[in-house]
Amino acid sequence: MRLTSFPVLLLAAGLVISGCSEEAGKDGTSDLSRSMLSEPPGDGLSTPIASAPTSGPGEEPLVQVTSLGINRGSLEAPVKVVEMSDYGCGYCRQFHQETFPTLLTEFIDSGMVEWKFVPYITGMFGNSLPATSAAECTYVQQEAAFERLNSRLWNEQSVWKGSDEPAEVIRPWVEELGIDMVVFDACIQGDERLDRIASATTLARQLGVRGTPTFVVLGYGPLQGALPLETFQDLLAAVHTDLTGTPGIPE
């Protein structure tokens, strides 16, 4: 895999270097400051979002990113990435189908990167809430079951997204996972994960996220869009080298 110089790579990838809090949460992922997304995002295909940062602190409590999302990878990984995606977003699906599996193998499973996936509702896709609720209510029971459902939600996005009854489409998929369906149904019907989903959407608004998918490399800045695999590979390798002083080439 090729490596380019770090400053050139940051410019090519469209990252915005800005401040962030280094206060780590209990799960190992640093918190974000809204200033990280105060500049226009980089190039890349993405679904635009009409959203703006809040005008200042004190308007509403800042959402702690450590309380949200699904973490993958080692807590000790030097590179931390937060992904904000909507299950209804076509470019997010493209990223998860074409790019993320390789990043998972090369960077996350190898201990180089800790990745936090934060699913949230942009408001642009009518059926996103049932899909996100199903994912959250599955995740709370079993992480392995969530991973299987997560893949199916991306791979069969057109099926549930185009349905008049998306929850009825998705429920049999969940049932196949072998989790407790009484608990799952109670979670869905009682909106038990709705506060968490709403908090993720609030976080996106507070950060001024303007497109999906958006990725924040903590300590460096935002990257937006379903960019080519090589762009992500070069970026993560260069950040790893910058943080550790050792070559960031996946083993």
Place of tokens 């695999």: 229
User: 13: domain range?
Assistant: 6-244
Place of tokens 């995740």: 139
Q: Is residue 251 very low, low, confident or very high in pLDDT (cuts 50, 70, 90)?
A: low
Among 16-30, 50-64, 158-172, 211-225, the range of highest mean pLDDT: 158-172
Q: Determine the pLDDT at residue 63.
A: 81
Q: Would 250 be classed as within a structural domain?
A: no
CA 90, CA 224: separation in Å to the nearest integer?
14
Q: Determine the pLDDT at residue 154.
A: 98
Q: Average pLDDT of the chain?
A: 80
Q: Determine the pLDDT at residue 207.
A: 77
Q: Determine the pLDDT at residue 15.
A: 37
Q: Would 249 be classed as within a structural domain?
A: no
Q: Which domain CATH number covers 95?
A: 3.40.30.10
Alpha carbons within 13 A on the beta-carbon side of 156? 14
Among 4-18, 26-40, 125-139, the range of highest mean pLDDT: 125-139
Q: Would 1 be classed as within a structural domain?
A: no
pTM, 2 dp: 0.80
Per-residue pLDDT tens digits for 41-50: 344 566 665 4
Q: Which stretch of 56-60, 128-132, 163-167, 193-197 has the lowest confidence by average pLDDT?
A: 56-60
Q: Would 251 be classed as within a structural domain?
A: no
Greater pLDDT, 72 or 59: 72
Mean of pLDDT values over 189-214 = 89
Q: Would 129 be classed as within a structural domain?
A: yes
Q: What does the chain look like in DSSP terms, one character per residue?
A: -----HHHHHHHHT---------B-TTSPBP--GGGG-S---SS--EE------SSTTSSPPPPGGGSSEEES-TT-SEEEEEEE-TT-HHHHHHHHHTHHHHIIIIITTTSEEEEEEE---SS-TTHHHHHHHHHHHHTT-HHHHHHHHHHHHHTHHHHHT-S-HHHHHHHHHHTTT--HHHHHHHHHTTTTHHHHHHHHHHHHHHT--EESEEEETTTEEEES---HHHHHHHHHHHHHHHHSS-----
Report the domain count for the chain: 1
Say yes or no to pLDDT of 71 above 90.
Answer: yes
Q: Would 45 be classed as within a structural domain?
A: yes
Q: Would 110 be classed as within a structural domain?
A: yes
Greater pLDDT, 247 or 211: 211
Mean of pLDDT values over 73-102 = 94
Greater pLDDT, 218 or 29: 218
